Amino acid sequence: MGLYDRDYTREGFRSQYRGVPQMRMGLPRVTPVVKWLVIINISVFVVCFLIRPIRNLLFTWFSVYPADLAMCLQLWRLVTYQFLHSVNGFGHIFANMLVLYFFGPMLERHWGSKKFAIFYLACGAAGGVLYPLLACAGWLDVGPLIGASGAIFGLLAAGAILFPNLTVYVMFIVPMRLVVLAIILAAISVMTLFSGVNAGGEAAHLAGMAAGAAYVLSQGRLSKFKVKLDSGTREKKVAAPQNLQIEVDRILQKVHDHGINSLTSKEKRTLKQATKAQQMQNSH
């Protein structure tokens, strides 16, 4: 799968997404978190492939395996299962690491390394949560769940929302918009889920995509809320001195009409507050 997006060469796009990697026809420059994720995944795969006792130990204690309630409550599995891959061939880990290599740097540069790492692991964990729920409900067969696919599909969903027109080359040959690819993969996962073939893995795929999409969409709404909140705060700061002056004028008129003894304790505090504010202003 290769990447190329003509929109990245446009000034309007660059001004809208400053800090987003400028894609060119070529291999992306690997970012820190992506580099370590790839190293850890490949290292664990090699160890599991070469040393069977260690593989059995890791798959037993670090895969998502909802065989009973106690194993469902072992929450570390939601993270550790993402670094385990099938050793029956190289297709499983190769596909996941390939997508991570191409799409991970784009999102890591957009969000920063810390936010990207949290996002990646959270999307994977979402898949690790959904599968046990479906298995405990009797909708899916119980078995070990392994692989980074939930996190990988979360990256695809996020990329499809942020950069829908990004062109990807499927199998390095067929050009396709990223949003179209994400929709196709989601549809395949849904159909495969109901067919019963690798249903646990497909459940993780869909949960990861849902988590990735929900995060990106929520960020847009959260940004609008922050802007509205900041605007309201600024308006209050501007209005506060004006309101204080109006109240001070009213109190001074009351003193003029009825004397100082007519003031309430609250009105006296307001006068003191106004005096302090005036003194601070004069000192500057």
Query: What is the pLDDT, as a whole number, of residue 249?
Result: 78
pLDDT band at 240 (very low <50, low <70, confident <90, very high): low
Using CA atoms, how far apart are residues 24 and 255, in angstroms rounded to an integer? 75
State which residues form the domain around 267.
243-283
Query: What is the pLDDT, as a whole number, of residue 24?
Result: 41
Q: Is residue 114 domain-resident?
A: yes
Identify whether residues 7 and 148 lie together within a single domain. yes
Query: What is the pLDDT, as a whole number, of residue 115?
Result: 94
Identify whether residues 26 and 109 lie together within a single domain. yes
**pLDDT above 60 for 51:** yes
Query: What is the pLDDT, as a whole number, of residue 54?
Result: 94
221 vs 154, which has greater pLDDT? 154
Identify whether residues 26 and 83 lie together within a single domain. yes
Using CA atoms, how far apart are residues 235 and 107, in angstroms rounded to an integer? 35
Q: Is residue 234 domain-resident?
A: no
Segment 31-39 mean pLDDT = 96
Identify whether residues 120 and 21 lie together within a single domain. yes
**Which of 177, 201, 226 delimits the end of a domain?**
226
**CATH code at 118?**
1.20.1540.10
Which of 36-45, 82-91, 156-165, 249-258 shows the lowest per-residue confidence on average (mean pLDDT)?
249-258
Identify whether residues 214 and 253 lie together within a single domain. no
Using CA atoms, how far apart are residues 265 and 58, in angstroms rounded to an integer? 72
Identify whether residues 77 and 150 lie together within a single domain. yes
Using CA atoms, how far apart are residues 254 and 248, in angstroms rounded to an integer? 10
Q: Is residue 235 domain-resident?
A: no
Identify whether residues 262 and 212 lie together within a single domain. no
**Which of 184, 201, 226 delimits the end of a domain?**
226
Instruction: Please give the order of strands across the beta sheet that includes 2-4.
Output: 2-4, 167-170, 174-177
Q: What is the pLDDT of residues 169-186, one digit of tens each?
A: 887 788 889 889 889 888
pTM strictly above 0.85: no
Identify whether residues 214 and 274 lie together within a single domain. no
Using CA atoms, how far apart are residues 100 and 155, in angstroms rounded to an integer? 8
Identify whether residues 105 and 133 lie together within a single domain. yes
Query: What is the pLDDT, as a whole number, of residue 3?
Result: 42
Identify whether residues 135 and 259 lie together within a single domain. no
Please measure the distance between the N-terminal and C-terminal CA atoms of the chain and give it in whole angstroms: 62
198, 206, 267, 274, 275 from 281: Cα distances, Å: 71, 59, 21, 11, 10
Identify whether residues 253 and 193 lie together within a single domain. no
Number of domains in the chain: 2
Q: Is residue 231 domain-resident?
A: no
- The two tokens of residue 94 are 């190769």
Using CA atoms, how far apart are residues 169 and 4, in angstroms rounded to an integer? 8
